[in-house]
Chains A and B, each alone.
Chain A
Amino acid sequence: MHLVIQALILGSLTGGVYALMASGQTLIFGIMKVINLAQGAFVIVASYFTFSLFQMTGLDPFLLIVITTPIMFILGAATQWFLLRPLRPDDAAELSLLVTFAVALGLEGALSIVYKTTLRSIMPGYENHSWTIWGYQVNEVRFYAFLLSIAMLVILYVLLQKTKFGRSVRATVQNPMAAQLLGVNSKAVSAFGFGLGVSTTAAAGAVFGLITPFNPGSHYDLISRLLTIVVLGGMGAIGGSVIAALMMGVGAALVSALASPIWADFTFFIVLLLVLLLRPRGLFGAKVRGAL
């Protein structure tokens, strides 16, 4: 029982981090119907940025997010503007997924030239501290990361629900053509939305670098997890992806604790197949024709 509760704690904290990565991916899917296979690679890029900035300045990794977020935003928006926007409309659906895959490999290649393939960790000195509450270990970094994820998700929510930009994004999600007719600049919204979705990887990357050693190939571990979460939550549903991330975080932690960490990845694949078989639109996905 102790083991199970400990796994629950660890799993929900990890799930919070996944929620941050997945919410960005879901946002991108919602706006452009593009599955961003490079989301994991962007997380790793952000981890390296945080790593380098931390080594140069010695500032706390959590503070560095203020610097890395705009950088990741620009990277994301540039990806959309230069690589996805020019695709011809009749090819776009088929090619955009492959473009993001190529971007992921390109980022991995660039990182392995600059940083080589040795495993790195961001070590501000408190990365292994944890509190003991009633005999349960609560890792400090993961706890802060969890709080950070919630804060970022709240910001994202406010941005989407309460601002003019958010309204144009939501309009584009619902009906791009109608949104454009009503004066929404859907090209700009797409680039902005992609940038916004990628910018969530800044915080996620900092945290990922704190809790796990990483190298340029680490994004492969993230791709399948993020995709499973996005499908489970319902593609395009940001709230759904947060809940799905927590569920998968807990699920993987339970499997790791009770069986073996090897089977944690397997769990993701089985869940993915089961969701597609039993409830293809995911837990909270809208039943829209042409969507899932």
Chain B
Amino acid sequence: MSKAGIIRAVAFFGILGLLPLGVKPQWVINLLIFTLMYATLASSWNLIGGYAGYPSLGHAAFFGFGAYFIGIIFENNVGNGYNPFLILPLVGLCAGLISIPIGYIAMKTRKDVFAIVTITLLFMVQTLAYNLRAVTGGAQGKGVAVPPFAPATFGRPFYYVMLILLLTAMGISFYFRRSKIGLSLAAVRADEDKAHGVGIQVTAVKIIAFAISVGIAAMVGGVWGYYEGFIYPQFAVDPLITIGMVLMTFLGGRATLWGPVLGAFILVPAQQYFSYEFGATQFYLLAYAAIFLIIMLVLPRGILPTLTDRIRLKAKIAAEAAK
């Protein structure tokens, strides 16, 4: 890791780690929790959607799986309040294992088919969440026990767990960039047939990336369900969550380390501001769609790659001029 990179990471996580100690208003902490949540989701989506170029539209299914997992186990009693957090690795592991056969079938052929399977999975899981009433509570929702945290700092544990998940997701993302698996994924993205031809285990790396990616999404879902305290099918398995993470990754720059995080830090506060100002949630969808279309048409590579290119180009011109 370059020196600048280390400083950037330490500063970023240092500031975020100290922030709740200085900032008291509940709504700020709440906003930060959701920002961290989407930053983590977008970073995890980036592993498969960015690095491998396989656009998953079904991550919300695993997000919801995690939420219900925690909700079902901790319906009545959470002990000292920290038990659900300790279960999270198990949630991620289960989601990852479930994703292996699905990923194997979905990634056998082509990228479009992967999108088809994952979006179908999303709606099937949503139907299941509505209809398996004995387990999920159906449309009435499922309550999760309220943790005995002090009201003044209630959000703090959730905040720090989200921060740890973000650190994990970004750590994996960073590792991917430097390791053989990341290079293999980049080759898959560029030309899968050729990658296969030169002896890359394309199927294995794709499945690993997908499993890790949805495992993180499920853990985030678990924390979300616990924090919300009530899980409804339409919010836990929501196409908007999927589109949210895709949108943020695209805005910031896919297949980059910081792009998804940047996207989340721009869009989540903007979204909260607009819903506060205008109220009506119907405008959400329209605004989301409009922003998405604009990004894809005007800035298809995202903010970070475009900026780095600009800076490089300027430096090059300056160097030429100096000669």
Q: Residues of A with Cβ closer than 8 Å to B?
A: 33, 35, 37, 83, 86-88, 91, 93-95, 97-99, 101-103, 105-106, 108-110, 112-113, 117, 220-221, 223-224, 227-228, 231, 262, 265-266, 268-269, 272-273, 276-277, 280, 292
Contacts and interface: CB of A to CB of B under 8 A. Distances in A.
A220 B122 CA distance: 10
A98 B53 contact: no
* Chain B residues touching A, majority SS: helix
Contact of A265 (B105, B106, B110, B127): B127
* Chain A residues touching B, majority SS: helix
B296 A224 contact: no
B57 interface: yes
B243 interface: yes
Contacts of B300: 87-88, 91, 95
Nearest to A260: B131
B110 A292 contact: yes
Name the 8 nearest CB pairs between A and B, nearest first.
A109-B285, A106-B289, A109-B286, A224-B120, A102-B292, A262-B131, A112-B282, A269-B124
A33 B105 CA distance: 21
B116 A106 contact: no
A201 B35 CA distance: 39
B243 to A, nearest CB: 6
Interface of B: 53, 55, 57, 102, 105-106, 108-113, 115-117, 119-121, 123-124, 126-128, 131, 239-240, 243, 246, 250, 280, 282-290, 292-293, 296-297, 300
12 contacts: A37-B119, A105-B240, A105-B289, A109-B284, A109-B285, A112-B285, A117-B282, A220-B123, A223-B123, A227-B120, A269-B121, A276-B117
Nearest to B110: A292
Contacts of A224: 119-120, 123-124
B116 A227 contact: yes
Contacts of B111: 93-94
B120 A228 contact: yes
Given A112-B282, A266-B124, A98 B296 contact: yes
Contacts of B102: 273
Nearest to A281: B109
A221 B119 CA distance: 11
A35 B285 contact: no
A292 B113 contact: yes
A103 B117 CA distance: 19
A109 to B, nearest CB: 3
B129 to A, nearest CB: 11
Contacts of A103: 289, 293
A273 B289 contact: no
A106 B285 contact: yes
A109 B286 CA distance: 5
A86 B286 contact: no
A216 to B, nearest CB: 8
Contacts of A109: 282-289
A97 B115 contact: yes
A87 B123 CA distance: 28
Nearest to B280: A113
Contact of B286 (A37, A98, A101, A110): A110
A80 B121 CA distance: 27
B279 to A, nearest CB: 12
Given A37-B115, A99-B293, A101-B57, 20 more contacts: A91-B296, A94-B53, A101-B119, A101-B243, A102-B243, A102-B289, A105-B285, A109-B287, A109-B289, A112-B282, A113-B282, A220-B239, A227-B116, A227-B119, A228-B120, A268-B120, A269-B120, A273-B117, A276-B108, A292-B113
B128 to A, nearest CB: 8
Contacts of B288: 102, 105, 109
Contacts of B293: 83, 99, 102-103, 106
A160 B55 CA distance: 32
A35 B106 CA distance: 15
A83 B120 CA distance: 24
